[in-house]
Amino acid sequence: MKLLEVAMVGESQLQAKRPVSASLAGPYGHPFHPILVTVPIGAWVTSLVFDIASHVVNRPGFLTQASEWLIAVGVIGALLAAVVGFLDLFAIPGATPAFRTALVHMTLNLLVTVAYVVNFLWRYGDHTGGGSVAVGPFVLAALSVAVLGVSGYLGGKLAYRYGVRVADESTQAEGYAPDRGAHRSRSST
């Protein structure tokens, strides 16, 4: 019985690590989703920094407007990352801890994206007074970044614990095999 379970787990891992229809999601061992998520994360965290700074400087209008547009850039980036993330999700076998984690990760990311769409619409064009960001949008942004952090933790768990779309161990071992010429060059110095 145990041998059958190990064989099934090995097959599930192979399916998640080498998905058949994942060429759009990136080449084997180098998925696009982790690269694309840096756009919304960077944009949204920076927009929160600008929101905070808008309460510190004398003329914060440029910061509130920049924050608004960073939110828009983040939403566009999140939608692109979500498309590729869906392809990664469908490569994970159902009824597994990795799949359940991926569903929670996806749900949190979609909630954060919707929250930022709402935040953008709440702020849009509200630069008449040139003042700092209002309390409501500021709190929504801070909560959204906190939820984004939880989702990022789960994304890290998918990659680093479960190895979703990560090269298998034998492929990884290639990076740790000593170079044949490296020993000679080190000993000659």
pLDDT tens by residue, 30-86: 678 888 999 999 999 999 999 999 999 999 989 999 999 999 999 999 999 999 999
Q: At 177, is the pLDDT very low, low, confident or very high (cuts 50, 70, 90)? A: confident
Q: At 4, is the pLDDT very low, low, confident or very high (cuts 50, 70, 90)? A: very low
Cα-based angle 150, 152, 153 (whole degrees, multiple of 5): 65
**How confident is the model over 102-158, as pLDDT tens digits?**
999 999 999 999 999 999 999 987 655 678 899 999 999 999 999 999 999 999 999
For the chain, the straight-line distance linking the first and the last C-alpha, in angstroms and rounded, comes to 55
- Compute the distance between CA of residue 100 and CA of residue 93 in angstroms, rounded to an integer: 10
Write the CA distances from 108 to 52, 129, 145, 151, integer angstroms.
24, 34, 11, 6
Q: At 180, is the pLDDT very low, low, confident or very high (cuts 50, 70, 90)? A: confident
pLDDT of residue 6: 47
